[in-house]
Structure formats: C-alpha cells, structure tokens
Structure 1
Amino acid sequence: MQNRYNLDNLVAEFRHSLEIENFSSVTVKNYQSDLRHFIGWALFASESQGQKIEGESFQGFIQFITPMLIADYKSYLLNNQTPQKTVSRRLSTMRKFCTFCIHQGWMQENPAKHIVNAPPSKPSANLEDIDSIISAYRKSLASSIPDLSAQNQQYTDVAEFVSIINSRF
C-alpha cells in the first residue's frame, strides 16, 4: 500500500484478507464493523488529546496504535456498558487486525496481544436467592451460637450488609 491510501482502503484490505482466510461472511462483516468503530473512536480520541493523526493516512494511524490505546479502547467500551461479548469480539478484531498489519510489514509487534477480553458478567442474585441464603445463614447461626441475642445481632448485621450491597447493584 502507498501513502495515499486512506483508512477506508485499510478496512477494505483487512476485509479482503479475512475473506482469503475463509472467515464466515458474518465474521467478516462484524470484524469490518468493529475495525470501523475502533478507527472512529481512535480518531476522536486522538483529536481530543490534541494528537491529530497526520492526514488520517493508514501509516499515521497504524503508528498511533499502541497497547495503551487499545487498553483505553477497552476501558471506553466497558465504561459505556458495551455487552461483554461485544467487547471481547472487538478486542479479538483488534488482535486479528494487528496480526494482519504485522503480515503486511506495517507493524513489528502486536499491541493488542496482551489485552485480555472482558471478564464474563456475573449473574446477579435475585431476591429469592438472597432470602434463601440469609435463611440458611440464620439456621447455621442457631446451631453454632447458643445465645439468641448474639444470633439476632449477627443475623441483623448480615441482613443489613446484604441489603446495602443489593441496593448498589
């Protein structure tokens, strides 16, 4: 590729490489969309930091991609409540894109290699689960603490703690 190639050409080259590797049409579409999303975010991030990418050329853009930029992108996605699977797919796209850039001779190392996917979201407990846990805790108190007043104090403290935690999530 020559300097006059713009970022649209970069996306097209990446798409072509995915098609050659026989990725499914859905994967190609998603990876292309993810790369465009990253490019848009990165251009906005660079301008907001006063680091406009020179001429928005593909070479200037590729040099701008660093592990810190990708980590910032991940943080942006998570802070904007992007679903975990989407975050993981977008990070996978970045790893694949950077590998593509290495094969093209545009990068020496993959800056996305050590960025881990978003952890799976933990299912939140519903009120029935919480009530059954507290009830089981109360029964265990009865067998381990003979003093009824101490049992009630322990139970009240735990129930209050669970109530506070539950209201925050």
Structure 2
Amino acid sequence: MQSAIGQFLRYLAVEKNASANTIKSYREDLTALVEYLTDAYGGRCPSPDQVTTLDLRGYVAAMHEAGYAPGTIARRLASLRSFFRFGMRQGWVKENPAKPLRNPRKPRNLPHVLSTEDVQKLLEAPPASSPMGLRDRAILETLYSAGLRISELVGLNDSDVDLAAEIVRVRGKGRRERLAPLGSFAVRAIRRWLAVRKLHPSLRDQPDRPLFVNRFGQRLTTRSVARMLEKYLRQTGLDRRTTPHTLRHSFATHLLNAGADIRSVQELLGHKSLVTTQIYTHLTTANLKAVYEKAHPRAR
C-alpha cells in the first residue's frame, strides 16, 4: 500500500503539477486510511486490490463515530476515489471500491461578511505615515478590490500588475489564471507602496520580484498577512471572526447587492463551478428580505 501511495503522490507532483499543499492533503488522507486498515486487519495493511467497499464503509463509519466534520469526510472520500482511480489505470485494482460511497450531506454555513462601512473602516486603519502602513493598506485594498484569496495575493509579482490598465493577473487554484480589475483606490495604494518598498538584494534584479514583501524585503507569507489583519481588527474593534478571506466574501456579496450578475462574479472570483458562487446569493436574498421587512407596509 505504501508503495502505491508513493507512486500516486509522484503522479500528482509530476504529471498533474499539483501544489505542495494539495500533495500534503492527499498524503495525510491516505495515511489515515492506512492507519485504519492496519488496525482493522489486525496489524497488517492490505494491498490496494484487497481493499473492498465494505472496508471503506467501515472507515467512513469510524470517522462519523469519531466526530469528524462532514466536509473532512467528503474530502477524504474524494482522495480515496482519486487514488483508486489511479490504481485502475495502473492495473493495481480492477474496480474503484470508493466509487459507490456517497459524501455526507454538508450544512451550508453562510460566510461571514463585513458591511461596506466596516470594510471602509478596516481599509483606512493602516497608517499612511510609514512604509509598513502603506504596504498594509495596499494589501487590504487589493484583497477587497480584486476579491483575491490570500494565497493569490502573496503570490503576486510586479509583472502581474498593470497599474496603467488597472488589472492584475491572478494565479488561482489548479494553476488557473485569470485577470481581475483593480479599483482606483487599490491602484493608488499600490503606487504609494511601490514608492517606498525596499527589496532584498537577491530579489532586485529578478523578473519575478514579489509585489508585497516583509520588513526584510522578502516575499510575505499567508500567516504574516493574517497576523497583520488581526492587528487592525484589534485597533478598529471590528468582528474578530474576520479573516483575509472575509474580504473576498465581502467583495462578492457587495457586487451582487449592487446588481452584478452571478456569472460575472463567478469569473471575477475564479470559481470553476457556479455552484460555489451561489452561496453568495443566499446572503443577498437575506439582505433583500431585511429591506422588504423594513420598508413594506404589509411585511409583518
């Protein structure tokens, strides 16, 4: 089994060009299966062709009993389906034992969103009197203006941004690229940041110079951006549930509230499926209902 897992992970890295985080997730999911099967088979893990659908049903039941979230179980099942599908192509197994298993029903939790007033309060929090303050304001303005994921933001290079055209090239999930517009506030904030940015000597002549760097002139990490946001949340007294992804949620919700069509929002967010974008329609429906109940004379 371990040899088969190793081949599968190499396939993901070499042929599918999967990210390090994706490979890490698959490795963890498959390791969890090996641990379960080793225990279930009395200390000996079966080979891939010996694993049955009944074995995997037992694994799913064990995860339910252990209190795993439906989303975690669904992700692990997706990993198993991919692994055994690869096994069929390699000739390890004749059929996919994970295929008949259904994902648990996941509750659709509505994402946390800031009001336009709270977004403005947050964007104005970083001081304009220091290089790091100008950087932080440019980061927050870019996250909200373009609806970026935090990983997309820290991955931006100078060459990805066209300030004259007010657009940014974004590398999203699955290595998919998209163009996202930048608002005038974000463009202005980025220009002010670039005027004071100091790059590490090793990066100055590189074609892929990072757009946002730390105080040592090196590319920022996602954790650094999260810590930066936490600081401004404390200063402004805004909801501590707010994360960098909240600005992406707020971006989508505010666009829909202002009349943007959902297909356009899907493209701007870089969602592969419209179903992923549709969660924001629940938020805008709730907003419309609140307006209706407040304004309509026969609403209550």
Query: TM-score, normalising length from structure 2?
Result: 0.34
| Among candidates 90, 95, 100, match of residue 81 of structure 2 | 95
Deviations 1:11-70 (A, max 9, x none): 2111101112122221111011100110111110111xxxx64xx5xxx42132111111
Report the RMSD for the aligned CA atoms in angstroms: 1.7
| Among candidates 18, 24, 27, match of residue 12 of structure 2 | 18
Q: What is the letter of the counterpart of residue 87 of structure 2?
A: C
> In structure 2, what is the equivalent of residue 70 of structure 1?
56
The structure whose RCO (Cα within 8 Å, separation 6+) is larger is 1
Please identify the structure whose Cα radius of gyration is greater: 1
Q: CA deviation at 1:122?
A: 7.2
Q: What is the distance in 2 between the residues matched to 1:68 and 1:8?
A: 21
The runs of 5 or more residues in structure 2 that have no matched partner are 110-300
3-state SS, counterpart of residue 82 of structure 1: coil
Q: What is the letter of the counterpart of residue 18 of structure 1?
A: L
Q: What is the distance in 2 between the residues matched to 1:108 and 1:17?
A: 19
Q: CA deviation at 1:115?
A: 0.4
Q: What is the letter of the counterpart of residue 120 of structure 1?
A: K
> In structure 1, what is the equivalent of residue 25 of structure 2?
30
Q: CA deviation at 1:77?
A: 0.6
| Among candidates 94, 101, 114, match of residue 100 of structure 2 | 114
Q: What is the distance in 1 between the residues matched to 2:56 and 2:22?
A: 20
Which moved further from structure 2: 33-42 or 112-121?
Answer: 112-121
Q: What are the equivalent positions in structure 2 for 1:51-62 lying under 5 Å apart?
A: 53=44, 56=45, 60-62=46-48
Q: What is the letter of the counterpart of residue 16 of structure 1?
A: R
Q: CA deviation at 1:114?
A: 1.2
Q: What is the letter of the counterpart of residue 84 of structure 1?
A: P
> In structure 1, what is the equivalent of residue 38 of structure 2?
43
Percent identity, aligned pairs only?
Answer: 26
> In structure 1, what is the equivalent of residue 70 of structure 2?
84
Asked whether the equivalents of residues 49 and 94 of structure 2 are also in contact (C-alpha less than 8 Å), the reply is no
3-state SS, counterpart of residue 97 of structure 2: coil
Q: What are the equivalent positions in structure 2 for 1:145-164 lying under 5 Å apart?
A: none
Deviations 1:115-138 (A, max 9, x none): 011111477xxxxxxxxxxxxxxx
Q: What is the distance in 2 between the residues matched to 1:9 and 1:22?
A: 20
3-state SS, counterpart of residue 102 of structure 2: coil
Q: CA deviation at 1:9?
A: 2.5
Count the aligned residue pairs.
108
3-state SS, counterpart of residue 96 of structure 2: coil
Rate the CA distance shift 1:78–1:122 in 2: closer, same or farther, 3 A: farther
3-state SS, counterpart of residue 68 of structure 1: helix
3-state SS, counterpart of residue 84 of structure 2: helix
Q: What is the letter of the counterpart of residue 105 of structure 1?
A: G
Query: TM-score, normalising length from structure 1?
Result: 0.59
Q: What is the distance in 1 between the residues matched to 2:108 and 2:71?
A: 13
